């Protein structure tokens, strides 16, 4: 089975469309959270995701906030401004769709799925080997797929040596999956690893491979919509630089 794994779209419809086209034909799509926040296209993104067949979706922290299940005060000022705007413009139908989605970890075959981490699905960032080590004991499957950090990366646990390492990943270079791994497909709509291209991954359950992918999209067009909506200028600048 060929699975498209995406995360952190953040209301960037142009990036989402590019990733879906570049990913090609897939059997299933797994989305690890955050349809909204930061970007200019919350309704367009939610509606596009709603139309995806064989979809598994987990709510991210921005999603939970925009449907009223988390205080907006939890977010910094600029993120809060975007969420307030999204809360006003999202249609009732799109909010209802989001309210029906889970926010807890989900197991699909040999993979555990979480937005932030298996230990704290909504908020914890897995950014270093220490945090990764603390999370390996919180899932029983051979590997875990997470989003939230907006960084395309992989952490590996060597069970014999009891050592956790952050291993390099390269676009279009398949990774042969083995026990025990935490993998992040990166962010579709707002990468933060200094590569502004939309990030996602292809998971092949038959070959047991994970292939990180990147695809270019029209960033200037999205920046124009961010500014036209009166959203924070920071969110327009950062998508062009990948930070």
pLDDT tens digit sequence for 28-44 = 999 999 999 999 999 99
pLDDT tens digit sequence for 213-222 = 999 999 999 9
Average pLDDT taken over every residue of the chain: 98
Instruction: Give the count of beta carbons closer than 10 Å to the beta carbon of residue 215.
Output: 18
Q: How confident is the model at residue 168 (pLDDT cuts 50, 70, 90)?
A: confident
- 21, HSE (Cβ side, Cα atoms, 13 Å): 10
What was the pLDDT predicted at 185?
A: 98
- How far apart, in whole angstroms, are the C-alpha atoms of residue 147 and residue 8? 7
pLDDT tens digit sequence for 94-129 = 999 999 999 999 999 999 999 999 999 999 999 999
- Predicted confidence (pLDDT) at residue 242 exceeds the cutoff of 90: yes
pLDDT tens digit sequence for 172-202 = 999 999 999 999 999 999 999 999 999 999 9
pTM, rounded to two decimals = 0.97
- Crossing angle for the helix pair 42-50 and 13-23, to the nearest 10 degrees: 30
Q: Do you find a cis peptide bond into 180, omega within 30 degrees of 0?
A: yes
Residues in contact with 124: Cβ distance below 8 Å, sequence separation at least 6, in sequence order: 116, 117, 131, 135, 148
- How far apart, in whole angstroms, are the C-alpha atoms of residue 38 and residue 17? 17
- The residues pairing with 22 across neighbouring beta strands, listed in sequence order, are none
**Buried/exposed 120-137: b ≥16 CB within 10 Å, e otherwise:** bbbebbbeeeebbbbbbe
- Which superfamily, per CATH, for 2-241? Metallo-dependent phosphatases (3.60.21.10)
Specify whether the CB–CB gap between 27 and 202 falls below 8 A. no
Residue spans per domain, the chain: 2-241
Q: What is the DSSP string of 66-110?
A: HTTSS-GGGS-HHHHHHHHHHHHHS-HHHHHHHHTS--S-EEETT
What was the pLDDT predicted at 118?
A: 98
Tell me the mean pLDDT in the region 125-138: 97
């Amino acid at each position: 089975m060929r699975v498209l794994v995406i995360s952190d779209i953040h209301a960037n419809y142009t990036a989402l469309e590019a990733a879906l086209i570049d990913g090609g034909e897939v059997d299933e799509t797994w989305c690890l959270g955050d349809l909204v926040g930061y970007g200019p296209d919350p309704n367009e993104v939610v509606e596009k995701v709603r139309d995806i067949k064989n979809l598994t979706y987990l709510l991210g922290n921005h999603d939970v906030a925009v449907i009223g299940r988390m205080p907006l005060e939890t977010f910094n000022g600029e993120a809060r401004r975007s969420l307030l705007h999204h809360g006003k413009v999202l249609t009732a139908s799109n909010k209802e769709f989001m309210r029906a989605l889970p926010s807890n970890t989900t197991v699909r075959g040999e993979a555990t799925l979480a937005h932030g981490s298996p230990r704290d699905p909504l908020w914890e960032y897995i950014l270093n080997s220490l945090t990764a080590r603390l999370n390996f004991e919180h899932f029983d499957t051979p590997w875990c797929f997470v989003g939230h950090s907006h960084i395309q990366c992989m952490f590996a646990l060597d069970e014999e040596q009891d050592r956790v390492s952050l291993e390099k990943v390269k676009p279009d270079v398949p990774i042969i999956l083995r026990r025990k791994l935490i993998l992040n497909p990166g962010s579709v709509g707002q990468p933060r690893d200094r590569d502004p291209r939309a990030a996602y991954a292809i998971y092949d359950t038959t070959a047991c491979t994970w292939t990180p992918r990147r695809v270019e999209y029209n960033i200037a067009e999205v920046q124009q919509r961010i500014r036209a909506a009166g959203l924070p200028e920071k969110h327009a600048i950062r998508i062009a630089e990948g930070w």
